[in-house]
Amino acid sequence: MSKKSALHIAKGVKEAPFINPNWKGAKRLKQDTDSLAEAVLQGDITALSAAITIAESTSPDDEIKCRSLMNRLHPKSGGAFRIGISGVPGVGKSTFLEAYCSFVLNNDPDARIAVLAVDPSSEWSKGSILGDKTRMESIGKSSRVFIRPSASGGRLGGVARSTFEAVTLCEAAGFNFIFVETVGVGQSETVVSKLTDCFLFLAMPGTGDELQGIKKGIMEMADVIALNKCDGDRTNQAEQSAIQLQGALQLITRTQDHWQPPVLQISALNATGMEEMWSALDRFQRHGQLNGWIEERRREQQEYWFKSNIGALLFERMSEKETWGKESDSLLAQISKGEVSPFEASRRLMDKILA
């Protein structure tokens, strides 16, 4: 029963929809989300997919379903170690994930891994030319792995919200490792660092110039740094790059947790350095749990999303006011004539609306 209902809700799924002969309108909706939530809690992958599809959907119906699902499942979330992965395009994030997840699956019989992707570029293009779906094939076949290539965010709150909800749903479904990979460009690092417990930054051993370019922002965000592609000719370069990175890291004092981010040398291609990665991440998680950083970080993140979503909602609700449209149009006309700056115009609109 629960499975069938899940399929019914999953609009992207190919099976024919299950038609309930005892259709009861609104009650039906409640039943659907209840049984879907139940199926997610039992670790049903099809139900999990369907639930994430609902979280990503922009239809008002799905929004109601999503709220009810999230209210049910949010209290069951929080059980995974959430790891964000970032690095410039070409650094080998997908190859790394494939190698590392294989290692984890082989070494930890209890590991269940979810891989999610954050792609803010999809707000422009609704997708990437070259998806990572086709990569990560070897791990994708395991029943202990769930890969969701690209969470697009059409609804209010955007990419961040649908990714947050996807993390919650994966945790409710019993996944204990969640990787959130940044895809594309733009604000992905910021979003990912505010959704995860641990931020893993992949870099390439290269010119000193490249390392200098890693600005303080990302160095402060990174909890673990790995130099990927440390193979073949690059081995010597790698050593030097690692020393330089460690030097740069020493300039940063992390008062909040006193964690010293390790710099690892790995090769995802040859699957070397995976054990060191495992122990670095494990050490971070254990220290973070013992000292309460992870809990503290999650608290701060939730506060952040709470506040940032309020901004978006306020805009949505206030713009439904009658005076809004008229004032806003007249100010936009002044803006386009170059009479007033957009920032000044927004202040004037506020003065009228909230008068």
Residue whose CB is less far from its own copies, 105 or 173: 173
Residue whose CB is less far from its own copies, 106 or 319: 319
Residue whose CB is less far from its own copies, 104 or 164: 164
Q: Are 199 and 238 in contact (CB under 8 A)?
A: no
Residue whose CB is less far from its own copies, 142 or 187: 187
**Rounded least distance, CB 119 to its own copies, Å:** 8
Residue whose CB is less far from its own copies, 111 or 214: 214
**Rounded least distance, CB 269 to its own copies, Å:** 11
**Rounded least distance, CB 10 to its own copies, Å:** 22
Residue whose CB is less far from its own copies, 84 or 104: 84
Tokens 């964000």, residue located? 84
**Rounded least distance, CB 165 to its own copies, Å:** 8
Distance CA 329, CA 261 (A): 51
**Rounded least distance, CB 98 to its own copies, Å:** 14
**Rounded least distance, CB 257 to its own copies, Å:** 15
**Rounded least distance, CB 129 to its own copies, Å:** 5
Cα angle value 198/243/233 (rounded, 5°): 100
Cα torsion for 235, 236, 241, 247, to the nearest 10°? 120
Residue whose CB is less far from its own copies, 61 or 344: 344
**Rounded least distance, CB 353 to its own copies, Å:** 8
| Strands of the sheet with 263-265, listed across from one edge | 145-151, 113-118, 177-182, 81-86, 198-203, 224-227, 263-265
Residue whose CB is less far from its own copies, 111 or 248: 248
